[in-house]
A and B are shown apart, each in its own frame.
Chain A
Amino acid sequence: MLFRSKETTLVAVETGTSKMVVAVGHVRHDGVLKVLGLGESSSAGVRKGDVFDPKTASDALREAMAKAEENADVVIHEAFVALSGAHLECVAQRGSTMISQEKKVVTEEDIEEARDLAEEMSLPEGRCHVATLPKGFSIDGGPRVSDPVGMNGTQVEGEFLIVHGVASRLHNVMDRVRELQIDVCDFSLSPMASAEAVLTEEQKKLGALVIDLGGGLTHYAAYINGQIESLGVLGVGGDHVTQDLSRAFNLPLRLSEDLKCSQGAVVGEDRVRDEVIALKPMSGFAGKSIYRESLIKVMRARWEETLLIVKKQLGDNFLDLLSAGIFLTGGSSRTQGIQTLAETIFQLPVTLVKEHAFNGNVGELARPELSTVLGVLLLGQKRVLQERGDASLGQRFSRALKKMKFIV
């Protein structure tokens, strides 16, 4: 079982490109999740969500973990881990099975069988199956339903998103956590975690897209009728903008990062055509002036391209189904004008999500870069509540875990 019935302290870990974050939460008896504390450190050894320098990454995670323990006043033994990386890919697969003529209603076993059939696909060498996410089911070719258990029929067909990735890279992330003598009790896919933190169940039913603009990656998850419809990870993030500025103006990376955070914008270059930004001299840099218009051009080119790729991957027809609109989060969603740019590209209402509805120190949590780690906590909370309400669900999770054992 994932959670022992009395133990309701949850720990979420995100090994991001810009930062390592550990969040500690507590699910109270009334089911409410309270955030007890956070631990953060500047990330190192991670690029585009992949660990490239294990030792440095472990040190950074150790620092974040220690801070979280101190702030939440707990000793951490196990944690949920957010998984991401540009190597993650997903494909839609179908699996169908005949419903037992004795029972004549869809059972959990039928769903499992359909799922097993959908998972029967060969993957290129080195890649492994990461998760299977149900998109919906149909009984005898009828309309799509999210939970067919108990429905009458002769055949049930399920449509699933099969997520797969490079096994060694997933291990790299898990190993960093385990090195600290902390058990990985389960993982969440970062796109889904961010969506969990940002969307209400109502918005998922209406149709919504969450785009998390991170430091090393941009990931997105789209929901229709309350079910995941599509997700993706693109190996482009705020790091690329920093590098673009460095190349455009011949600046040290650290200065480019500061420039991006303090002056960065993606709209309005017409209004600042001849405005000049003076960059003060510092060690190893003689000082320089740049046009604000040029700064905006460089940044807009990158974010416009990134959002257009997300749009293209989803397809135009799909956008019509997003009645609740688009939600931007992640550290790079702080970029001035990004909401306007996204609205122009998607031609849909766009909301910037900075705050999360949590109990706890709200001021500390009101940051878009925390969406993923807080989403992991929320997914943990959901499981705790399901376990409390339905003992058989615990078995179901155990079964799911068995399938993922090669990773965890």
Chain B
Amino acid sequence: MKIQIFGLGGTGLQVIDAIKATDSVQVMGWDADEQALKNCSLKEKRWIGADLLRGWGVRGDKSVGAQVFRLHEQEIKNEIKTSAIVFLVVSLGGGLGAGGLTSVINWVKEKGALPIILVSTPFQWEGVRSVNQAIQMLRELRKTGEAVFIFPADQLTKEGWAEGERADQKWSAVIEAMRQCLSGLMEMITKKGLVFSETEEVLKAITKISHGVSLQGGFGWGEGKGTHAMDEALATVIANDWLRDAATSAHEVLVAVLGGPKLALAEVKKATEFLKQHVGNENTHFIFNAILEESYEGKVKLVIWTAGVQKSETPIEAPLQESEERAPLPVSQDKAKGQELKQEAFAFETPNRGRFEKTDATFYQGENLDIPTFLRKQIRIRQVSL
């Protein structure tokens, strides 16, 4: 199966820069910033919006971003392969990627391909507009039932800042986590696992977990080498910032265990038992997939995705008000000091599945079929006016 990875905008470009293209995996960056493209080592990259912006980027304006992508509609459509799995990597707080995302998702679907989306959401100190834009976009993505993996940058600031730690270091951690998530998903899809041998099964598990990720979801990864490789990997995975809070409320958990062909089943069992003890509760549903191959000889890597359930007492995240003061930016102490804005998790409206609430949601290629078709396909229904 053909896999395509599209990085849209600056963040997308940064995340996919280190991903290796192969015969079955195409990696392509789309950006309006000429300089960013020059600095990026990707083989396939496209400069878009050159005529409109003259290489200056969209300066955070989502509507301009959308306009740029529309101008390149045909070019992008031509690149999308029919029936491919298309990963879209984007920052929802930015202008270009966020602006073009909805259109690109639709074009991917038109080609009969499956979009899987990785998004980062901004730090609070990036501004009310960016944060609200991200919240709004995530709501839309949930409404249309897309498969989305979310990386809320602000989660990394909850534990405070280490002495001398800079914002760009925090941002690098976001980029690295997205990269690890992407590569974990790729491993699951492209390599034959012990539990899932068919791509369809893997996709089903991935899309299922992705729909719960936005509801108090978590993510983590860890690696280990040598005799105690598994112990090392387990200790690292459990310490991940994005897993810490989500671990207790996890409802669904997907784990990829990557190791060499000699990795003992006892070690895999050890990992499953450890994670069952430390993540979720007695009602949590776990799915483990072990991928054993030569390139992992002598080491172990664990990648974990958790999905939570929306608690009834969790308020729907309200957009921030322009009048609210911004949280302090640690590197610029002279900036405004204000009350700490609450943005603990992106908890969004669960699409109302009505009479199907007590059933497992029916998913097909990332779409939640319990949501009325006319809503998902955005079919206009004419109403008789009173």
Interface residues of A (CB under 8 A from B): 47-48, 50, 52, 86-87, 91, 122, 124-125, 234-236, 239-240, 243-244, 246-249, 253, 276, 288-291, 293-294, 297-298, 301-302, 304-305, 309
Contact = CB atoms under 8 A, between A and B. Distances in A.
A14 B379 CA distance: 36
B358 A47 contact: yes
- The 3 nearest A-B residue pairs measured at CB: A235-B362, A244-B372, A301-B373
Nearest to A121: B197
A377 to B, nearest CB: 28
B377 interface: yes
Interface string B89-100: 000000000000
20 contacts: A47-B355, A50-B359, A52-B359, A87-B360, A125-B286, A234-B364, A235-B369, A239-B355, A240-B370, A243-B354, A243-B356, A244-B372, A247-B375, A249-B383, A288-B384, A290-B384, A291-B384, A301-B372, A301-B379, A305-B373
A86 B360 CA distance: 9
Contacts of B364: 234, 309
B195 interface: yes
B372 A243 contact: yes
Contact of B372 (A253, A291, A294, A302): A302
Contact of B383 (A236, A253, A291, A302): A291
Q: Which residue, A87, A240, A288, has most C-beta atoms of chain B within 10 A?
A: A240
Contacts of B362: 48, 86, 234-236
A298 B360 contact: no
A294 B198 CA distance: 40
Interface residues of B, number: 25
Contact of A294 (B359, B360, B377, B382): B382
A214 to B, nearest CB: 13
* Chain B facing A: main interface SS: loop
B369 to A, nearest CB: 5
Contacts of B359: 47-48, 50, 52, 235
A248 B374 contact: yes
B276 to A, nearest CB: 11
Given A239-B356, A240-B372, A304-B373, 16 more contacts: A48-B362, A50-B359, A86-B360, A86-B362, A122-B195, A124-B195, A235-B369, A246-B354, A247-B354, A248-B372, A248-B381, A291-B384, A294-B382, A298-B373, A298-B374, A301-B379
B336 interface: no
Contact of B373 (A235, A244, A290, A294): A244
Q: Which residue, B287, B354, B373, B384, has most C-beta atoms of chain A within 10 A?
A: B373
B331 interface: no
B355 A244 contact: no
Nearest to B286: A125
Contacts of A87: 360
B350 to A, nearest CB: 15
Contact of B381 (A48, A50, A125, A297): A297
B194 interface: yes
Contacts of B384: 276, 288-291
Contacts of A235: 359-360, 362, 369
A252 to B, nearest CB: 12
A305 to B, nearest CB: 5
Interface string B343-383: 00000000000111011101010000110111101010111
Contacts of B373: 244, 298, 301-302, 304-305
A122 B356 contact: no
Contacts of A91: 198
B372 A247 contact: yes
Contacts of A240: 356, 369-370, 372
B185 to A, nearest CB: 18
Contact of A290 (B198, B354, B360, B383): B383
Contact of A293 (B198, B358, B369, B382): B382
A244 B360 contact: no
Q: Which residue, A50, A246, A293, A298, has most C-beta atoms of chain B within 10 A?
A: A298
Contacts of A293: 382
Nearest to A248: B381
A91 B196 CA distance: 12
A294 B384 CA distance: 10
Contacts of B287: 124
Contacts of A239: 355-356
Contacts of A249: 381, 383
Nearest to A52: B358
A169 B354 CA distance: 21
Given A243-B354, A247-B354, A301 B383 contact: no
Interface in B221-279: none
Contacts of B358: 47, 52
B230 to A, nearest CB: 20
Contacts of B360: 48, 50, 86-87, 235
A87 B360 CA distance: 9
B382 A48 contact: no
Nearest to A89: B201
B383 A294 contact: yes
Contacts of B194: 122
A288 B383 CA distance: 10
Contacts of A298: 372-374, 379, 381
A253 B360 CA distance: 20
Contacts of A253: 354-355
A291 B355 contact: no
A345 to B, nearest CB: 14
A119 B369 CA distance: 31
A333 B384 CA distance: 29
A72 B373 CA distance: 43
B374 to A, nearest CB: 5
Contacts of A301: 372-374, 377, 379
